[in-house]
Structure 1
Amino acid sequence: MRYTVKQGKKIAIHPHVQHHAKGTPGMTQGKLIFIGIASIVGAGFFLATGTIFNIAGPATLFGYLLAWLSVTTVFAALGEMAADEPGKGGSFRAYIGEYLGRGYSFVGGWVYWTAGVLIMSSEVTALGLFTQRWFPSVPLWLLSSLFSLLAVGLNWLGSEKFGQAESLFAVIKIVAVIGFIVAVLVVAGGMVFSGEYLPQTKAEWFPHGIKGLWSSIILIYFTFGGIIATGLAAGEMKEPEKIPGAFRRMVLLLLFLYLIPLTLVVLTGSTGSLSAQQSPFITVLSRLSVPYGDELLNGIMIAAAFSTMVAAMFASTRVLVSLAEDGDAPRKLLTKNKREVPTYALLASSGGLVFAIGISFFLPKEVYELLSTSAGINLVFLWMGILISHHIYRKKQRKIKGENHPMWGYPLRTLISCIIIVVVLVGIFLDRKHMISLGFTLALMILFTFCYQVMKRRKNTDKKTIRN
C-alpha cells in the first residue's frame, strides 16, 4: 500500500487508484457529471418505472422525491470523503474497510460485484424487451446474448474508449428526456396545464394504498443504481476538491431528468394503461399519437440501457480487481492485456450474464423485476454502509483536523436517510416477489461472511505455521 500526505496527514492510496496518484491527466468536473448521468439513467428509469406505476400509481412521484432525498445524502457523504481523502479514489470499499472493518469491506465488495452483475443482467433483459418491439419473433435470450457480446467488446477496448462512449451516451439520454418533455408539452400542453388528469383524491393518488407505494420504493432505489460507479469514477478527478460540487450538480440534474417526465406521465392520464413490459414514456407518446416519437424513443432507450449495462460491467470489473489486489479474490484476476484491461476480471463479471440469459429463457416475463429488485436491495445495504462509514469518519475528522468539505445537514440528514432506507427495507416484506429477492440477497451476504471467516482462519493458520 502506498501513501500520500495531505495537510500533514498520512493518507493511504488505495491500490486500484495508484495510477492516478502518479500524475495521469485525470477527469474534469463536467466529464464526471456526464459519466454519472450515463451510469445512473438507464433501463431502470425507462422501463422499471412502468412496474413502479403499476404498484404505486401516481404516488410514484412521492416515492421518487423520498428516494431522491436519501440518494443525495449518499452522494454528499461519498463526495465529502472522496474530496478529503483523494488517495482512496472514491472507493466505497476503502472507506468501509477503514471505518467499519476489513470484514465489512470484503462482504461489501462482493455484494457490490453481485449487484453489478444483477444490474447488467436487468439491463440486458430490458435491452431484449426494447428490441423485441421491432423484432417480436426473436427470442429474448438471443437478443440478450448479442448485447452481452457487444458490451464485453466495448469494455475490452479500455477505459479511455469507455469514457468517450459514456459521455456520448449521457448526451443522448439528456436529449431524449428533454425531447420527451418538449414533445408532450407541444402536443398535449393544454391537457397538462389544465390539470384535468391530476389526481384529486387519496384513492386516485394511492390506488393500492400506502402499501403499494411502500413496497415499490425498493425498485425506485434501483433506478439510482449507478451511485457507487460514479464514486469510483470520481477517483480520477484531477481536482478532488471539486467532487462535492460535481455531485451536487449531478443530483439536481437527476431531479429534473426523473421528476418532470414522470409528472407528465401522470398529467396525461397514462398511469392506468401502463405495462411492465413497455416503457411508460413510449405508452404516453403512443397515446398522444406523436409521429414516430415512440419508435425514436425506443431506439434511444436501447442506447441508454446499453450504456448503463456497459458502465455496470466496467465498475464490477474494477471492484473485482480491487478485491484481488487486497487478497480477497484470486490474484489471476489482476492479469491485464496491452490496453490495461483486466481480462480475467472482465470475463468473470460478464460470466454472470449467462445466469440472467438462462433465466430469461425460462421466465421471460418475470425476470426483469426479480433482477431489478435484487440489485436494489444489494445497493441500499451498501448505501447504508457508506452512510455509517461517513458518520464514523466525521467523528474522527473532528478530533484530527476539522472539516474540509462538510456535508450540509449532518448528522440529522444522515439519520433521516438511514431511517428512510430501513423503512424501505421493511416494505420489501409487503410483496411476495420482493421477498424472493430479499432472501437471495441475505443468502449471498451470509455466504460471503462465511467465506471471509474461512479465509481469515486460513491466513491466521498460515501465519502461525510460518512463526513455528
Structure 2
Amino acid sequence: MSTRPPTPTADSTAPAHEAATEQQDGPGLKAGLKNRHLSMIAIGGVIGAGLFVGSASGIAAAGPGILVSYALVGVMVVFVMRMLGEMAAANPTSGSFSAYADRALGRWAGFSIGWLYWFFWVVVLAVEATAGAKILEGWVPAVPQWGWALIVMVVLTATNLASVASYGEFEFWFAGIKVVAIAGFIVLGALAVLGVLPGSHDDAVGLANLTAHGGFLPNGPGKILTGVLLVVFSFMGSEIVTLAAGESADPRRAVTKATNSVIWRIGVFYLGSIFIVVALLPWNDPSIAKDGSYVAALNSMGIAHAGQIMNVIVLTAVLSCLNSGLYTASRMAFSLGRRGDAPKAFARTTGRGVPQAAILGSVVFGFVAVFFNYRYPDTVFLFLLNASGAIALFVWLVICFSQLRMRKIILAEAPERLRVRMWLYPYLTWATIAMIVFVLGYMLTDTADGGGRDQVVVSVLAALGVVAVAVVRQLLHKGRKDSPTRS
C-alpha cells in the first residue's frame, strides 16, 4: 500500500492554502481503496435505507405518479453528479465540492458548505444508529435499544479507525448485499408481472395497477411535487464516491467511471424497483402503508418471511449508511483541517493514513446526537433534524455554482484535465439551479409539523450562522495580514 504523493504544488486547480497545509501534514491519506471498493461504493451510494422505508409515503401521496417524482429527482441528481464529476475528475481531493467551492466561490463558501455537510452526516449517524438498534432489539430484546446503538457505533468507528481499506471492505459487502437484494427484487417482480412466477397473486400480472385505481395520477398532478419532497433526500450519498476516490490508486479513472454510470444506477435501482412495486400492487393497498412498499410487494409475490428478509436488507442499508456517513464526515473534517478551517489535529493522519482525530471528533458528535435522540427526541433532536433537512439541496446548489466558475478555471489552467464535461454548459447548469431553487421554494408550502417549511427555515438559519462565522473569520484573517508588523 503506497502513500499518495503530495499533489497540490503541481495542481494548479487546488487552493493555495490547501496546498501549503497538505505539505506540512506529513504522509496524509493513503491510496487504500481498490477498484472493486470504488465500484461498489459508487453503486451502493445511491441505495440508502430511505429507498426501502420511505417510498411508501411517496406512493400514498402520488400513486403510480411517484415514478415521475423519482424520475424528476433522478434527472436532477444526474446533472449534479455530472457537474461534480467534471470537477472531481480534474482535481480529485478528499474535500470534493467543499474544496471546489473554496477555489471557485471563495474561502467562506468552502468553509460553510464543508461544515454544513459534516453536520448533516453526523446527524445521519444518530438517525441510522437508532434505526439499526430498533431492528436489532426486535431480534435480541435482552439488549436495550441504546445498547445496540452503542455497539453499532463502536464497531463501525473501530472499522474506520483501522484503515481506509477496512472501510472499503465493509462497504463493499454492505453495498453488495443491497445491490443483490434490489436486483433480485426487480427480477422476481418482473417475473410476477409477466405471470410466470409461481405463487404470485393473479391480480399482480400485467400493468393494470398503474392506471386501474383512479388513474396514473389519482390525487392530481400536483402530488408529483409532493412526491418530489418525499423522495429527494433518499438520493443523498451519490457524491460520496468523489470523496472516496481521493484514496484510490487512480482517482481520475474512478471518478470518470462513477460519473458515467450514475444514469443507469438511478434508473435501475430507483425507478426499476419502484416501478415493480406500483405494478404489482394497487397504490392504495393498505399493506403498503402497514408493512412497507417492498415487504408488501414481496408478500404479493408469495415470498415467505418477507418481513424478516426486508429487515435484514434494511439493517444492511443502515449499517452501510452509518459506515459511509462516518467515513464521509471524517474526510470532510480532514479536508477542512488541511485548509485551516478546522482544528489542525483533524488534518493529521496515523501511520496507516487514517485521520484519527477527524474520525473521533465526528463520532463524538454522533454519540451526542444519539443521546439527544433518546433523551430529547421532540425538542433538541427534532431541531437538529430540521437544521440538517435541506442541506442536501444546499450542497447541490453549491456544486452547481462552483462548476460554473471551475469550468473556466480548469480551461485556463489545465484544459487537459477536463476529462468529464457537463452537458450543454452552462444552460443545463442554470436549469438545474432553477430546479433546486424551485424545490426549496415548494418546500416552504409544506406547513405540516416538522414538514418542508420547518426544514427549510431552520436549515437556512443554520446555514446563515455558519456563513456568518466564515465571513468573520475571513475578515479577521485579512485584518491580521494587513496589520503592520510590530518591531
* TM-score normalised to structure 2 length: 0.83
Letter in 2 for 1:96: A
CA gap 1:305/1:373 in 2 versus in 1, 3 angstroms: farther
In 2 relative to 1, CA 138–198 (structure 1 residues): closer, same or farther, beyond 3 Å? farther
For the Cα contact (< 8 Å) 1:20–1:236, is it kept in 2? no
SS in 2 for 1:467: coil
Q: What is the CA–CA distance in structure 2 between the aligned matches of 1:368 and 1:275, rounded to whole Å? A: 28
1:390 equivalenced with 2:390 (yes/no): no
Contact 1:2-1:12 within 8 A present in 2 as well: no
| Cα deviation, residue 401, structure 1 | 6.0
Query: What is the CA-CA distance between 1:183 and the residue it aligns to?
Result: 3.3
Partner of 1:176: 181
SS for the counterpart of 1:40 is coil
1:58 aligned partner: 64
Q: Is the 8 A contact 1:17 1:235 kept in 2?
A: no
Q: 1:306 to 1:328 in 2, by over 3 A?
A: same
Query: How many Å apart are 1:339 and its aligned residue?
Result: 3.9
Counterpart for residue 405 of structure 1: 420
Deviation at 1:129, TM superposition (A): 4.2
Letter in 1 for 2:477: K
Rounded to whole Å, the distance in 2 between the matches of 1:336 and 1:269 is 52
In 2, Cα distance between equivalents of 1:132 and 1:48: 21
Select between 252-261 and 328-337 the one with higher mean Cα deviation.
Answer: 328-337
Q: Distance in 2 between matches of 1:421 and 1:109?
A: 19
Matches within 5 A, 1:5-16: 5=10, 14=18
Partner of residue 231 from structure 1, selected from 213, 233, 242: 242
Check if 1:248 corresponds to 2:260: yes
Matches within 5 A, 1:55-94: 55-86=61-92, 88=93, 91-94=96-99
Is 2:40 the partner of 1:34?
yes
| TM-aligned CA distance change 1:33 to 1:317, over 3 Å | same
Tell me the distance in 2 between the aligned counterparts of 1:168 and 1:129. 22
Cα offset, 1:302, TM superposition: 0.5
> Could you say if the C-alpha distance between residues 365 and 300 of structure 1 is closer, same or farther in structure 2, counting changes exceeding 3 Å?
farther
Q: Partners in 2 of 1:150 and 1:104 — Cα distance?
A: 34
What residue identity is the alignment partner of 1:246?
A
Q: CA deviation at 1:413?
A: 2.1
- Match status 1:221 vs 2:226: no
Shift of 1:185: 3.9
Question: Conserved in 2, the CA contact under 8 Å of 1:123 and 1:306?
Answer: yes
Alignment of 1:126-165 (within 5 A): 126-131=131-136, 134=139, 140-165=145-170
Kept in 1: contact 2:122–2:362 (CA 8 A): yes
**Counterpart contact for 2:81–2:259, Cα < 8 Å:** yes
Contact 2:192–2:205 (CA under 8 A) maintained in structure 1: no
Kindly tell me the number of residue pairs found equivalent between the two proteins.
464
Aligned partners of 1:78 and 1:386 also within 8 Å: yes
Q: 1:439 to 1:157 in 2, by over 3 A?
A: same
Map of 2:200 onto structure 1: none
Instruction: Check if 1:45 corresponds to 2:48.
Output: no
Q: Against the structure 1 CA distance between its residues 20 and 184, is the aligned structure 2 distance closer, same or farther, given a 3 Å change threshold?
A: farther
SS at match of 2:123: helix
Q: What amino acid is aligned across from residue 165 of structure 2 in structure 1?
A: E
**Deviation per CA, 1:82-105, whole angstroms, max 9, x where unpaired?**
22234x457111111111111111
Percentage identity across paired residues of the two chains: 26
- Rounded to whole Å, the distance in 1 between the matches of 2:329 and 2:28 is 24
Within 5 A, what are the aligned runs for 1:288-299? Answer: 288-299=301-312
Report the aligned-residue RMSD. 3.4
* 1:223 partner amino acid: S
Quote the offset at 1:72 in angstroms: 1.0
Q: Distance in 1 between matches of 2:30 and 2:355?
A: 19
Kept after mapping to 2: 8 A contact 1:222/1:373: no
Q: Is 1:439 the equivalent of 2:472? A: no
Over 3 Å counting, the alpha-carbon distance change for 1:89 and 1:146 in structure 2 is: closer
Q: Distance in 1 between matches of 2:380 and 2:56?
A: 15
Task: List per-residue Cα deviations over 1:235-269 (Å, max 9, x = no partner).
Answer: 23433443223321243123201111111111122
Report the CA distance between 1:66 and its aligned residue.
0.7
Partner of 2:102: 97
Supply the distance in 1 between the matched residues of 2:343 and 2:245 (Cα, whole angstroms).
26
Distance 1:213 1:32, change over 3 A: same
> How big is the shift at 1:38?
3.0
Moved more, 124-133 or 293-302: 124-133
Corresponding residue for 1:417? 432
Supply the distance in 1 between the matched residues of 2:70 and 2:42 (Cα, whole angstroms): 18
Counterpart of 2:199 in structure 1 is none
1:363: Cα distance to partner?
7.5
Distance change in 2, residues 1:11/1:347 (3 Å): closer
Q: How does 1:193-204 map to 2 (within 5 A)?
A: 193-200=205-212, 204=215
Contact between 2:48 and 2:235, CA under 8 Å: does it hold in 1?
A: no
Select which of 273, 280, 289 maps to 1:268: 280
Conserved in 2, the CA contact under 8 Å of 1:192 and 1:264?
no
* 1:126 and 1:368 in contact (8 A); partners too: no
How many Å separate the matches in 1 of 2:465 and 2:14?
32
CA distance in 2, matches of 1:398, 1:89: 22
Task: Report how far residue 376 of structure 1 moved.
Answer: 5.1
TM-score by length of 1: 0.86
**Deviation readout 1:119-154 (Å, 9 max, x if unpaired):** 223322332344455457976544433322222222
Q: Are the aligned partners of 2:209 and 2:279 in contact in 1 as well (CA < 8 Å)?
A: yes
1:451 corresponding residue in structure 2: 469
Distance in 2 between residues matched to 1:422 and 1:380, nearest whole Å: 8
Paired with 2:289 and 2:360, the residues of 1 have a C-alpha distance of 31
Whether the 8 Å contact between 2:33 and 2:164 is mirrored in structure 1 is no
The superposition leaves residues 329-361 of structure 1 with CA deviations (integer Å, 9 ceiling, x where unpaired) of 222334545544333322221233335434543
Match of 1:258 among 234, 246, 270: 270
SS of match in other structure, 2:210: coil
Shift of 1:378: 0.3
What residue ranges of structure 1 are gaps of 5+ in the alignment?
none
Q: Is the 8 A contact 2:37 2:171 kept in 1?
A: no
Cα distance, 1:401–1:331 mapped onto 2, change above 3 Å: closer
**Do the aligned partners of residues 464 and 85 (structure 1) sit closer, same or farther apart at CA in structure 2, a change above 3 Å counting?**
closer
> Is the Cα contact below 8 Å between 1:122 and 1:371 reproduced in 2?
no
Quickly say closer, same or farther: Cα 1:11–1:363, change in 2 above 3 A.
closer
The residue number in structure 1 matching 2:337 is 324
Unaligned 5+ segments in structure 2 are 1-5, 196-202
